[in-house]
Amino acid sequence: MMTLLISLRQIAHGVFITLVLMSASLCISYVLAVIFTIINYAGNKWLKKCLSAVIFLVRGTPLLVQIYLIYYGAGQFSGVRESVLWPILREPLFCAIIALSINSACYTTVLLEAALASIPENEMSACAALGMSKWQTFVYICFPRGMGIVLPAYSNEVMMLLKGTTLASTITLLDVMGVTQQLIAQSYAVIEWYLFAAMIYLSLNALITYGFSRLIKQNNSYISS
Amino acid sequence: MFIDGYSLQLLLGAWITIKLACVAVIPGLLFGLLAASRSSWPIYLRYPMDVFIFIIRGLPEILVIFFIYFGLTTMLSQLFHHYVDISPFKAGAAALALLFGAYASSVFQGAFAAIDSGQLEAGNVMGLSNWQKFIYIQLPQAWRHAIPGLGNLWLVLVKDTAIVSLIGVSDMMNQAKMAASTTHQPFTFYLLAAFIYLLITSISQKVIDIFSLRSKRYLHS
């Protein structure tokens, strides 16, 4: 009984780490994705080319490689080890957040791009007719409309992000998956703990789905059915 | 520097990665097709399948792979009262196939739903059996709608093979890890691995584009 309580406390801490990873990466990736979208909307040619190369690189490689590249790879260079960034790059938590944020930002940028492209041309023409600048069009029309359109696809991306956080357990981080592995090594109760972890992830996913369905309903309330 | 033994090792790993993805995709496609037809199944089969697919889609890939490799070994060992060994390659391929199939089922569902109902009615009029309708009418047309979705899933599958290295398959990721720890050049080798993954996914993308062009060749532009 006592050991079970201790295990549950460990799991609770694992949930906390997962939520930290999740919320931090979600916020950073969202901000990055918006910046990337603005670059794509109004940046110069070279910036756009660089961005599309980065997105191609990130989307074409596994998340695990990216996490390893940042966590293990950064330490190879003495320049990095002596720089001010080293206290950050030394910590698995920050490395995981960096990798997850960049990964998710690239996928989200592509989604946002598609959403912006699907806004009817007439709305842009209306903006031009009203004499709005390119910037005003983006802030008042394109972006809010794009966010509304992207929400269903974005909810999938957020779920992918949650699934991605489990990979942080491979760089010694004790999130739900990491704690589960640890508990299994201690108790040999393989199936029980995996099922428990599965339940936690399913309920987190259900929460995300619920939150997004509320958001989508709210966001599209102006559209009469 | 790149033509040393470690890079060769990495290429051998790349071969395992490709093999793993190819071995997983075939049962995955079949499972997806089977699961896509579940709306016409009897209820006592349909609901368990719904729940199963919901669970697989809701779980992280790493958990599914670990559950199949470690969990299944434990379950079978307890069942037969002696240690049962499943090879990590087979367990990994099975897990990837399940993941692929669970997502593919909804792609197939969408693809079959996109076929005009008049097509099936025409099939009825011509006196085709259900099986003939499926093979000659539904499958070729659903294929066209399914290709973009399946192509994306294939790319996801290739990237997910990296996770299988964690259960001990000596795929590219594992070889990179080994090379990185012996040479103390993690950045070099993980970057090299990343580029090989990029190569595999870009070539796949080209092949998918060719397939999707071919599947549309009878349509008027």
Task: Check the CA dihedral B86-B89-B94-B98 and report its sign.
Answer: positive
What 8-state DSSP symbol labels residue B219?
A: S
Residue reference for tokens 């010694």: A172
| B206 interfacial to chain A (CB closer than 8 Å) | no
B176 interaction partners in chain A (CB closer than 8 Å): 65, 68
Nearest CA-CA partner of B64 in B27, B97, B19: B97
pLDDT confidence of residue A3 = 81
What are the distances in angstroms from CA B172 to CA B47, B186, B191? 39, 14, 12
Contact A66 B180 (CB under 8 A): no
pLDDT tens, B163-204? 999 998 888 999 999 998 888 889 989 999 999 999 999 999
pLDDT of residue B219: 76
Residue of A59, A190, A205 to mutate for B, most B C-beta atoms under 10 A? A190
**Would the CB atoms of B197 and A65 count as touching at under 8 Å?**
yes
Domain boundaries B5-215, CATH class:
mainly alpha
- For an interface test with B, which of A54, A61, A70 has the most B Cβ atoms less than 10 Å from its Cβ? A61
CB contact under 8 A, A68 and B66: no
Residue A182 forms contact with B (CB below 8 Å): no
Q: In terms of Cα–Cα distance, which of A70, A52, A38, A28 is closest to A161?
A: A28
Mean pLDDT score, A80-98: 87
For the entire predicted model, the pTM comes to 0.90
CA distance A100 to chain B (A): 14
B52 and chain A in contact, CB less than 8 A? no
- Nearest-Cα distance to chain B for A49, in Å, is 17
Residues in chain A within 8 Å Cβ distance of B163: 62, 64, 167
> What whole-number percentage of chain B has pLDDT above 70?
98
Host H or E run for residue B166: none
**Is residue B191 a contact partner of residue A69, using CB atoms and an 8 Å limit?**
yes
Burial class (CB in 10 A: 0-12, 13-18, 19+), A45: exposed
Q: Quote the pLDDT of residue A166.
A: 95
**Contact with chain B for residue A198, Cβ under 8 A:** yes
pLDDT at B22: 95
- Stretch B122-151: mean pLDDT, rounded? 89
* pLDDT for residue B220: 67
Question: If we measure between CA atoms, which residue out of B154, B15, B196, B199 comes closest to residue B89?
Answer: B15
Band (A49; pLDDT cuts 50, 70, 90): very high
Q: What is the rounded distance in angstroms from the CA atom of residue B167 to the CA atom of residue B96?
A: 13
**Please, is B95 exposed, middle or buried when counting C-beta atoms within 10 Å of its C-beta (0-12, 13-18, 19+)?**
buried
Q: Where are the domains of chain B?
A: 5-215
Rg from Cα positions in chain A: 21
* Residues A93, A123 contacting (CB under 8 angstroms): no
Answer whether A150 touches B (CB < 8 Å).
no
**Does A170 contact chain B (CB < 8 Å)?**
yes
Rounded alpha-carbon distances, angstroms, from residue A6 to A11, A169, A174, A179, A183: 9, 20, 15, 12, 10
The average confidence (pLDDT) of chain B is: 90
Instruction: Count other C-beta atoms under 10 Å from residue B218's C-beta.
Output: 8
In tens, the pLDDT along B79-112 reads: 888 888 889 999 999 999 999 999 999 999 999 9
Confidence band, pLDDT 50/70/90 cuts, at residue A180: very high
pLDDT tens digits along A106-130: 999 999 999 998 888 888 889 989 9
Scanning B154-173 for CB atoms below 8 A from A yields: 155, 159-163, 165-166, 173
Q: Is B132 helix (H, G, I), strand (E, B) or coil?
A: helix
- Interface residue A40 vs chain B (CB under 8 A): no
Q: Which helix (H) or strand (E) holds A19?
A: helix A2-42
Q: Which domains, ranges and CATH numbers included, belong to chain A?
A: 10-219 (1.10.3720.10)
Residues in B closer than 8 angstroms to A66, CB to CB, are 194
What single DSSP character describes residue B190? H
Cβ A61–B75 below 8 Å, yes or no?
Answer: no
Q: Is B194 on the interface with A (CB under 8 A)?
A: yes
How far does the CA of residue B165 sit from the closest CA of chain A (Å)?
A: 10
Contact A194, A180 (CB under 8 A): yes
The one-character DSSP state at B129 is -
B168 SS3 class: coil
- The per-residue pLDDT for A176 is 93
What average pLDDT does this structure show over B6-28?
Answer: 92
Confidence at B1, pLDDT banded by 50, 70, 90 = low
8 Å CB contact of A61 and B186:
no
Mean pLDDT in chain A? Answer: 90
Q: Is A60 exposed, middle or buried (0-12, 13-18, 19+ CB in 10 A)?
A: buried
E-strand ranges in chain B read none
Closest to B107 measured CA to CA, from B151, B61, B159: B151
Gap between the Cα atoms of B35 and B104, Å rounded: 9
**Average pLDDT, integer, range B121-147:** 89
At A224, the pLDDT band (50, 70, 90 cuts) reads low
